[in-house]
Structure formats: C-alpha cells, structure tokens
Chains A and B, each alone.
Chain A
Amino acid sequence: MSLAVEEREMAVVGSGPAGMCAALAAVRAGADVVVLDENERAGGQLTKQIHRFFGSRRHGAGKRGFEIAAELERECRGEGVELRLSSTVLGFFPGGELMVEGEDGVYVLRARAVVMATGASEKSLAFPGWTLPGVMGAGAAQTLVNLHGVLPGRRVLMVGTGNVGLIVSYQLLQAGAEVVGILDISDRVGGYEVHYRRVRREGVPFYLRHRVVEARGEEGVEEVLVEEVGRGRGRVLRADAICLAVGLSPLAELAAMRGCRMVYSRELGGFLPWHDGEMRTDRPGTYVAGDAAGVEEASVAMEEGRMAGISAVEDLGRMRGEEAERARSEVRRFLLELRGGPYGEGKLRAKECLYCA
C-alpha cells in the first residue's frame, strides 16, 4: 500500500483551544503549521458550548464557547495557520508520520514537530439497560440539542453532578426539555456551586447518594429505577433519556501508538502521555497539550497549547533558548494562577508529580 506523502514543518492534531493556541504561538515565530481536525468545524469542545465560559477573561471567559472558538479560528486564519478540517488522524507511527483520512482519501503527513491536542473522551457507566436507545453520553446530548436542534428526550435524567452534568442539564432546560433529576453516587455536588445553583433554582431535583439500578423500556428508555445507596429504597423516574456525565479521560490513543511513555493519573482522568512542564513527551518532536495531557479547562488548555507551540518552535530552531524561556515563564505563571484554589490544587499536584516522574 503506497500512500501520498506530504512534508510539513509542524502539524497539530485537534483544533480545540489547545491546538489553535499551539498553532498561533508557532506561526507567530515563523513556523509553517497545519492543524488537522476530524470535525467539520474548528474549535473542539467550544463549538458545542453555548454558555458563557467561566475562566479568566484573558482567555475569553464571559463569552459563549462558540464565540471563543470563532475568535480563535479568525485569528488562526488571519495569521496564516492552515486549518484542515474534516481530516481524521488515523495513526501516528513510531517514525513520527501521521496517517490522515481527508475528504479525498488517506495520505501520510510527515512533520518535524507534532502537537497532539486531541482533547478528551467521555467515560461511561454500565448498568442493566444502559444499552437501550435513549441512554447516551452528555456530549452526545449536547451535540443533538446545541448543534442540530433536536431533543435527546422530553424528560431527561442526568447522571453526574460535575460541571459537565450541571452545564448540560441547564442547556437541556434551555432547549425545552425537562430534567427529571440529576443523580450522583457521591453525597455532594461535584461541580462549582454557581452552576449547581443556577440549575437548582429552575426546580431540578438532585438525587445525591443515589445510583441507577436499571433502565427499562422496549424500544428505548421509558423509566429508570434509582436507589438511595445503602437504604434499599428507590424511586421509579419516568424518563425517556439518560445522559451520562461521569467524567472525561484524555484521548491519548495517538500518543500510545507513537510509543510515548504512558502514565496513569486518576486526578487528570486516566492514561495520558508523560510530558514535562514544557509539554514535551519522551519522543522527539512530539508534544501534547490541553485535555489530552490531563483533563482540565479551556483556559488551561490554551496556555498549555501556547507552551507546546513555544517548545516546538524552539526545537525547530525558530526561537532562541532565552526567548523561548521568557515566553514560557509567562505561561507558567498563568498556569499556576489557574490551578490555584481548592478545585485546581489536585490538578496542580498531579501535574507536578508527572513532570518529575
């Protein structure tokens, strides 16, 4: 099998906030950069987010996710980054070549520097009936309502009280669905208090210390039996959809294929490629950034993207050591700020652990 081969200086896999910021940092130093994304729109997670982002105003917080994506995309195009959409990276080989499926077929892209900014994938939860139509990831529900204007159900049960579960519940309400409950095995809400409260004031019941016993229905979910853990008492909720928002894990399949050393971090969502504080993996010319390097938030993804971009152009010989170091120390300062506070602490520690592992 012989495939066409394209040579580029630098390739970025993923056009989310991390990927676009990596590309911007590199193109500003004069590098030739192509960004590949399997999606037909640029922006990654941001394209599906209709809420105003929490985070730092330096990173667009206060604007809606899709607005932040549009701004980054405009900047990328303006600065000469090539955004190649509807292009799926199928493989990343030990020699550093990417196998890409574009609109007209499969080809090989060889780049001297590759940044993996592939984001995260949703975790699942299995219970009797979880294979019934109507049970889906919270991300799938978001795709349906926010991109296509279709309801995943009229009466939805959300599983998971993290920020994703809370925010997607709110979005379902905005689209006109009823959220019949938000359930969590834990006895406290996982996400930010402000997100909890804006869902709660709409009248959505919270079932904490609860689990799904089973989902029932013929051709799809019709009702769900939930149980308070340890009490043996339950409730049958009438629902036609169950959305799973039980966490995200780094989407690191390409890194594993490339032969990067993989490490496990519970705090960061699962297996991810080992990397140093400058976003280099243990393979030459191979960098990682954003949720793929540990699940955090958009502001962090942007800074990690910048960091990866800077390290890449330094290694490509386009930026002198001291200049790169100056740029990186600024990024480091922002990252430290973003990882302050009780929610960031764990991530900060996990990252520091990783850097010296």
Chain B
Amino acid sequence: MRVNECESMQGAGGDPWSSAWERAARGPVAVVDCREEIPCNPCEEACARGAIKVGEDICASPRFDPGLCDGCGRCVTLCPGMAVFLLDRSHGKGVARVTVPYEMGGELLEGGEAWAMDEDGNALGTAEIVKVKRTGGRTGTLLVTVEVPEGWALKVRGVRDRLISLEAPEETDAEQRERDYHLCRCEEINVSDVRGQAGWFNSLRALRRYSRAGLGYCQGRFCQDLLRRELAQTLHAGEGEVGAFKVRPPVRPVKLGRLGGEDA
C-alpha cells in the first residue's frame, strides 16, 4: 500500500472528511476518501454534475469539488473501493448523518439500529438507521444512512448488523520445532528430501526426474513454483535461472480411454 500523502485534492489539511464539514451544514455532500494513485475512475463517470474528476491520467487520484455536489450518492454506489461516503449536518444541532455503501447480507431496516464502525473495525456504538436506499435491483448496493452524534461524524466508515469479536488470541511462544512437510502433494515428497538433493542439480527438470517431485497426477502444477523456490535458494540462483518443467500433453487430466487408452 502506497499512500499518496503529499497532496490534498480536497482542500486544506488533505483530509476529505474535515474539508467536507462546512459544506455538509447545508445538506449531504460526498466525501471522496481515495488518495492512492490506482488505475480507477468509475467515480468520475458516476457524477453527472462533474464534481469528481480523474481526468486523462486514469491513475491520478480523484479531485472533488464540493461546490458542484448535490449529494445524490451515485458515486457512493459505484465506487469499487467503497471509498466514497456522504456527510450531512443539516438535520439539527449535535447530530450528523453519514451514508455508507453496504453489501453484506444483514437485514438493515429504516427505523432500526446498526452498529457504526470506525476505520479499524471498532464499534463506535449503535446508531439509528434513518434511510436505506436500494440502488439497482435485488443485487444492488444499499446506501445506508445513519444518524450519529456529531462527535462521531468524522469517524464512521461502515455499519454492521452484528458485531464479531476482534480479540486476537493471546500470544504464546512459537514452537521452534520445525516439522517436515510435503512439497509435492501427489507423490508425497518432503521438503527435507528436496533440500537434501537440491544441491546436486542445477535445473528444475533434473531435480524432478531424480526426486520424482512433480511427476504425480497434477503434473507438477502445484509444486513447480515451490520446488523452483527451494532450488533457487539452495543454489543462490535466480528463480528464472533454474528453469521450468517440460510440458507434455495433455495439460489436464483426461478420462481413461479418451486418448488412446492413456490416463494422465
């Protein structure tokens, strides 16, 4: 993850949430919380009012003009990163409304309650669901609007119908005992065998012939990368240098009899 921190696209401070704050006093406004340079631009297309611009260079991060935004929420629906929200402070003192995209299976109903989650998945508390908007058919994204105390307004990033336990289990001493294991699943060749033999060979093909790793049913499709890594490490060589298995037809297991009696 490389975060492009140097530049703000939304105004002072660079935090799209705080810079939406003033505008949100007049009604819902988008918060485009996407700062990395990734090849992505559905948000630009979503906005009929031209408030979001990515431009010719698709890897540029989106620039947002709150003055043009009417809070319609189309960008919230269409952003694949689920990184666009709406903030609305026009519903009275001390409260704010936050709209988030929702694609989980929970049943969230208007008038009901949901857990408001912060960006690290901590529950801020429960909040009233003031609006649930279904966009586009049964499989569309839900836009869920919750009303929260103003103090949470900049923190809410998601909603959940139930909480899961976040607790990581207690730390223990990791056992140092290294167990042996198969590298080649089909022929049941152990990593210790391969390590023991790897030094004698300078190519993956030779290692396969001798150790029989990679000669099983799957034809090495799952152990080839693993063997290559082991061999390259042993030889202090690049993975490209130790080569690849020779490929023979058929490249998939075929039913007996279909290929002149040969079962691969």
Mutual binders A and B: yes
Binding site for B on A (CB under 8 A): 1, 38, 51-57, 61-62, 64, 88-91, 93, 99, 101, 105-106, 121, 123-131, 173-176, 178, 181, 188-198, 200-205, 207, 213-214, 225, 227-228, 232-238, 249, 253-254, 256-257, 262-266, 270-271, 297, 299, 337-344
Q: Tell whether A344 pairs with B166 under 8 Å between CB atoms, given A193-B35, A197-B119, A338-B39.
A: no
From A62, A121, A128, A254, B78 is in contact (CB under 8 Å) with: A62
- B residues 169-206 touching A (CB-CB < 8 Å): 169-176, 178-183, 185, 191
Q: Is the CB of B42 within 8 A of A52?
A: yes
A253's partner among B81, B182, B247 (CB-CB below 8 A) is: B247
- Which of A62, A232, A238 is B46 in contact with, Cβ under 8 Å? A62
A198 touching B81 by the CB < 8 A rule?
yes
Chain B 117-141 per-residue mask, 1 if CB under 8 angstroms from chain A, else 0:
1111110000000000000000101
CB A15 to nearest CB in B, in angstroms, measures 16
Which listed segment binds A: B13-21, B90-98, B144-152, B251-259? B251-259
Q: Given A188-B1, A271-B244, A205–B39 Cβ distance below 8 Å?
A: no
Determine if A342 and B2 form an interchain contact, defined as CB atoms under 8 angstroms apart: yes
B59 close to A340 (CB less than 8 A): yes
In the bound complex, residues from chain A placing their C-beta under 8 Å from that of B248 are 257
Instruction: Give the A-binding residues of B (Cβ under 8 A).
Output: 1-3, 33-42, 44-46, 56-60, 78-83, 103-105, 117-122, 139, 141, 157-158, 160, 163-164, 166, 168-176, 178-183, 185, 191, 221-223, 225-226, 238-241, 244, 246-252, 254, 258-260
Q: How far is the CB of A83 from chain B (nearest CB, A)?
A: 19
Contact A61 B173 (CB under 8 A): no
Nearest opposing residue in chain B for A176, CB measure:
B105
Q: Assess the A256–B244 pair: CB atoms within 8 A.
A: yes
**B residues near A127, Cβ cutoff 8 Å:** 181
Give the interface centre of B104, B121, B157, B175 by most chain A CB atoms within 10 Å: B121
A341–B3 CA distance with the chains assembled, in angstroms:
12
Q: Is B57 within 8 A of A340, CB to CB?
A: yes
- Residues of B within 8 Å of A89, CB to CB, are 251
Contacts of A125 in B (CB 8 A): 226
Contact of A201 with B117 in the complex, beta carbons under 8 Å? yes
Choose among B36, B103, B119, B172 the residue that contacts A192 (Cβ–Cβ < 8 A).
Answer: B36
Chain A nearest CB: distance from B46 CB in Å?
Answer: 7
> B250 is contacted by which of A101, A126, A204 (Cβ under 8 Å)?
A101
Of A128, A188, A234, the residue contacting B174 (CB under 8 A) is A234
Question: What CA separation (Å) do A190 and B1 show in the bound complex?
Answer: 5
A104 to B250, CA, bound (A): 17
By a CB distance below 8 angstroms, the chain A residues around B82 are 194, 198
Q: Is the CB of A236 within 8 A of B247?
A: no
Q: In whole angstroms, what is the CA distance A5 to B41 when docked?
A: 46
CB-nearest residue of chain B relative to A2?
Answer: B260
The answer, among B80, B83, B117, B179, for a CB contact under 8 Å with A62, is B80
* Cβ–Cβ < 8 Å partners of A173 in chain B: 104
Give the contacting residue for A61; candidates B3, B40, B185, B244; CB below 8 A.
B40
Measured CA separation A178–B223 after assembly (Å): 29
The answer to whether A130 and B254 have CB atoms under 8 Å apart is no
With both chains docked as a complex, state the minimum distance between the C-beta of A195 and any C-beta of chain B, in angstroms: 6
Most chain B beta carbons < 10 A, residue from A188, A237, A238, A271 = A271
> What is the minimal beta-carbon distance from A340 to any residue of chain B, in angstroms?
4
Q: Can you pick out 27 interface pairs between chain A and chain B where the beta carbons lie within 8 Å of each other?
A: A54-B39, A61-B41, A62-B42, A62-B79, A91-B251, A128-B181, A174-B104, A176-B105, A188-B1, A193-B36, A194-B82, A197-B33, A197-B81, A200-B119, A201-B157, A201-B158, A203-B160, A204-B121, A205-B168, A233-B173, A237-B169, A238-B169, A254-B251, A256-B244, A256-B247, A264-B239, A337-B58
Q: Which of the residues A57, A131, A299 comes within 8 Å of B44, measured between beta carbons?
A: A57
Instruction: Decide yes or no: A129 and B225 within 8 Å by CB, A106-B254, A205-B166 being known contacts.
Output: no
Q: How far apart are A296's CB and chain B's nearest CB, in angstroms?
A: 10
State the CA gap A270–B252 with chains docked (Å).
20
Q: How far is the CB of B62 from chain A (nearest CB, A)?
A: 11
Known: A99-B250, A235-B168. 7 other contacts (CB 8 A): A55-B39, A106-B254, A232-B173, A235-B171, A254-B247, A341-B59, A344-B39
| Cross-chain contact B80 with A61 (CB below 8 angstroms) | yes
CA A322 to CA B171, docked complex, whole Å = 66
Contact A56 B158 (CB under 8 A): no
Are the CB atoms of B225 and A203 closer together than 8 Å?
no
List chain A residues, Cβ under 8 A from B251. 89-91, 253-254, 257
A54 touches B174 (CB 8 A): no
